[in-house]
């Protein structure tokens, strides 16, 4: 059962109609929030004693705030959320909300292995300032994660979330691709606004765009390595680790794609492939939380 405080927050959110994304975040009557644009997935810095380094986190946010990003993703894969306690996850989101420019969107990863825990984390993320929840696929029992199970999970989360929900498929980390048929079904939910797809399969991204074209649903590429190709098949932006270090160049690639300057975009995309590979390699980082 959900705790009393969580249910109270859920009821308040439902009574305000937030779970249907009306009010400040709606782009019009019956419309969902617009998530188009570039987002750096903010890293979680640690001290030498493996504590979250909030001072460095805020320094990073001030630097990233100088670029024309649509917003920031916190508690994604780069945020190392599986290694943080629940209180640390919420504190990180709260600190980011306070440090980031007010006109930027804050997408917070709230995915957990159970539906109940994900609902509770999502409600809590909303309370500390998240504008939308990015919910990764539960994967520990990935052999049982059928389309029906995932549709049930995400529907429950979206029904009870006081903020819009973004689906998150990252098979390299979870061993699980959110099936296209499940994405299509979930795209019809009034509180599910889009998907971050990190699989790198541009054919799949194009198919999702095509099959959800009648819905108010948006697709974000999960890497700068296939950002141009994703724009070409209908994606509206990207959550790109490379934007943490080459923010100006990733935003330039976005502008070239949006203005149809495909030849220049291709040249820039080629130049970004190798640095993108470097920042995406699963090598250990100095100061990361010990998992041995």
List the catalytic residues.
168, 196
- Secondary structure (3-state) at 169: strand
> Residue 187: CB partners within 8 Å, gap ≥ 6?
212, 215, 217
Strand ranges (E), the chain: 37-39, 71-74, 105-109, 132-136, 165-169, 192-197, 218-221, 237-239
Query: Are 265 and 256 a contacting pair, CB within 8 Å?
Result: yes
Measured CA angle at 183 (ends 39, 96), to 5 deg:
25
> Could you tell me the sign of the dihedral formed by the alpha carbons of 242, 96, 235, 194, in that order?
positive
Closest CA to 187 of 214, 152, 161, 207: 214
Both tokens of 53, joined, read 């380094």
- DSSP line for 221-259: ES-GGGHHHHHHTT--EEE-GGGGT-HHHHHHHHHHHHT
Closest CA to 251 of 260, 242, 209: 242
Q: Is 239 annotated as a binding residue?
A: yes
d(CA 220, CA 254): 12
- Secondary structure (3-state) at 70: coil
d(CA 191, CA 112): 19
d(CA 159, CA 22): 14
Neighbour count for residue 272 (Cβ, 10 Å):
21
Residue ranges for the binding site for pyruvate?
239
Residue ranges for the binding site?
239
């Amino acid at each position: 059962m959900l705790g009393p405080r969580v249910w109270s927050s859920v009821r308040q959110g439902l009574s305000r109609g937030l779970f249907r994304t009306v009010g400040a975040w709606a782009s019009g009557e019956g419309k969902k929030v617009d998530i188009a644009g570039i987002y750096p997935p903010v890293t979680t810095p640690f001290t030498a004693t493996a504590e979250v380094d909030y001072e460095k986190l805020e320094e990073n946010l001030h630097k990233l705030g100088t670029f024309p990003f649509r917003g920031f993703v916190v508690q994604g894969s780069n945020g190392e959320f599986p290694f943080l306690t629940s209180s640390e996850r919420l504190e990180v989101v709260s600190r980011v909300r306070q440090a980031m420019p007010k006109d930027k969107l804050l997408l917070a990863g709230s995915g957990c292995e159970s539906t109940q825990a994900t609902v509770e984390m999502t409600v809590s993320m909303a309370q500390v300032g998240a504008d939308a929840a990015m919910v990764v696929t539960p994967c520990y029992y990935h052999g049982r994660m059928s389309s029906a199970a995932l549709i049930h999970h995400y529907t429950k989360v979206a029904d009870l979330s006081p903020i819009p929900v973004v689906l998150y498929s990252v098979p390299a980390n979870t061993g699980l691709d959110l099936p296209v048929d499940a994405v299509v079904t979930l795209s019809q939910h009034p509180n599910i606004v889009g998907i971050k797809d990190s699989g790198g399969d541009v054919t799949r991204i194009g198919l999702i765009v095509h099959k959800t074209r009648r819905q108010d649903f948006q697709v974000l590429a999960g890497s700068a390595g296939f950002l141009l190709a994703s724009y070409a098949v209908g994606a509206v932006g990207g959550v790109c680790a490379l934007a943490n270090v080459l923010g100006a160049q990733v935003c330039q690639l976005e502008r070239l794609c949006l203005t149809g300057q495909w030849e220049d975009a291709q040249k820039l995309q080629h130049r970004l492939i190798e640095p993108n590979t470097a920042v995406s390699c699963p090598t250990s980082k100095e100061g990361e939380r010990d998992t041995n």
